[in-house]
Amino acid sequence: MKTTYREAMRAAIREALLRDERAFLMGEDVGAYGGCFAVSLGLFEEFGPGRIRDTPLSESAFVGAGIGAALGGMRPIVEIMTVNFSLLAMDQIVNNAATLLHMSGGQFNVPIVIRMTTGAGRQLGAQHSHSLEGWFAHVPGLRILAPATLEDARGMLWTALQDPDPVLIFEHGSLYNMPGELDDDAGAVGIDTAAVRRAGNDVSLITYGGTLPLVLEAADRLAADGIGAEVLDLRTLRPLDDAAIQATVAKTHRAVVVDEGWRSGSLSAEISTRITEAAFYDLDTPVGRVCSAEVPIPYARELELAALPSADRVVAAAREAMGTRG
């Protein structure tokens, strides 16, 4: 069937609420408004205000309440409008959700799913456009997912809800309108492994989330030049699928990491380091990186585009790795 990333996500939430009576959705404007990005449109009418709960603008309280409800036996899906707003709930996510199991010596697990929009590209300026999933991927106790395809938008949520521990799902805002075909019986997918989205022998392009489409576009352009790029979609940012990263590097001997986060202290730095640690002797060339410029994401279209990874920059980085600059 024809669908979009947004509709696939909505179908996943709807399935969760139909299959598990403990599941409910909670967040700002998820109900009567239909969701800031219209992901939950129609669910309020179908499930009512008890299970599609509009919250006050209180990120710390409603994320914390989600953690408490999870401790109390529910399976909350908490939506935060954007990753920038999640900073207001950082205390609850980092100090509580991620620590309670360990601090309690294994007594209290927190089966919560927290969804939020991430990323730039829509001229929303510096307080609605950042890619901070790498910060959360830093924290032991959390599992971090970044669905980049319709199948993952449709299938990751149910699997995340079965996880006994906190799972954060980062949905890149530029993906919501992405159209495509999805099997009528599409459902839960695994969340333990990365996926090769395009096979190639010459250079590995390692990415996740909102940059997957432009990396696939870059791979097409490289193919036209006779360069076979392998595209690895990480899918899960914590824990990283080290085996998949090492396997693709062992195959191509060249790697470029594409990450919309900033370069300094980033997920791309982590991946690059792991390649150096585990696959140094497989490499024919230093690991390349394409990241966002080190600026708060600006509003103006030209400036925003200049700040972000692009297919052009990925192509250039891949060619540099191949030693065929220009």
Partner 1 sequence: MTSQPTRDRTGTSPERARHLLHQMLRIRRLEEECVELYSAAKIRGFLHVYIGEEAVAAGVMAALGPEDAVVATYREHGHALLRGVSAGAILAEMYGQVQGCCRGRGGSMHLFDAATRFYGGNAIVAGGLPLAVGLALADKMAGRRRVTACFFGEGAAAEGEFHESLNLAALWQLPVLFCCENNLYAMGTALVRSQSQTDLALKAAAYEVPAWAVDGMDALAVEDAARRAVDAVRAGGGPHFLELRTYRFRAHSMFDPERYRDKAEVARWAERDPILLLRRTLEADGTLSGEDWSALRQEVDAEVAGAVRFAEAGSPEPAEDLLRFVYSEREEQ
Residues acting as catalytic residues: 59, 128
Supply the minimum distance, in Å, between the C-beta of residue 112 and partner 1: 9
Supply the minimum distance, in Å, between the C-beta of residue 246 and partner 1: 21
User: Cβ-count burial of 182 within 10 angstroms (0-12 exposed, 13-18 middle, 19+ buried)?
Assistant: buried
Q: How many residues does the chain have?
A: 326
In the bound state with partner 1, the residue whose beta carbon lies nearer, of 95 and 201, is 95
User: Cβ-count burial of 45 within 10 angstroms (0-12 exposed, 13-18 middle, 19+ buried)?
Assistant: exposed
Tell me how many residues contact partner 1 (CB under 8 A).
Answer: 40
In the bound state with partner 1, the residue whose beta carbon lies nearer, of 65 and 290, is 65
Give CA–CA dist 250/238, Å, rounded.
22
5: Cα within 13 Å, side-chain hemisphere: 19
320 is a site residue for partner 1 (CB under 8 A): no
Residues 49-68 that bind partner 1 (CB under 8 A): 50, 55-56, 58, 60-68
In the bound state with partner 1, the residue whose beta carbon lies nearer, of 65 and 321, is 65
Q: What angle do CA 115, 67, 40 make, to 5 degrees?
A: 30
In the bound state with partner 1, the residue whose beta carbon lies nearer, of 105 and 323, is 105
CA-CA-CA-CA dihedral for 283, 204, 9, 4, to nearest 10 = 170
In the bound state with partner 1, the residue whose beta carbon lies nearer, of 9 and 80, is 80
Here the tokens at position 90 are 């950082």
Cα distances (Å, whole numbers) of residue 61 to 35, 95, 117, 194: 19, 13, 19, 33
Supply the minimum distance, in Å, between the C-beta of residue 76 and partner 1: 8
Looking at 41, 71, 87, 188, which residue binds partner 1 (CB under 8 A)?
71
Which 3 state secondary structure label does DSSP give 99? coil
Give CA–CA dist 250/248, Å, rounded.
5
Supply the minimum distance, in Å, between the C-beta of residue 94 and partner 1: 10
In the bound state with partner 1, the residue whose beta carbon lies nearer, of 108 and 282, is 108
- Pick the stretch among 136-144, 226-234, 294-302, 304-312 that binds partner 1 (CB under 8 A): 136-144
Supply the minimum distance, in Å, between the C-beta of residue 197 and partner 1: 27
272 is a site residue for partner 1 (CB under 8 A): no
Q: 116: Cβ–Cβ under 8 A, 6 or more apart, which residues?
A: 79, 80, 81, 82, 83, 85, 86, 168, 169, 170, 171
Residues 96-135 that bind partner 1 (CB under 8 A): 96, 100-109
Give CA–CA dist 41/288, Å, rounded.
41
74 is a site residue for partner 1 (CB under 8 A): yes
Supply the minimum distance, in Å, between the C-beta of residue 241 and partner 1: 16
Residues 204-263 that bind partner 1 (CB under 8 A): none
Residues 153-182 that bind partner 1 (CB under 8 A): 164-165
Residues found near partner 1 in the complex (CB under 8 A)? 24, 50, 55-56, 58, 60-74, 76, 91-92, 95-96, 100-109, 140-141, 143, 164-165
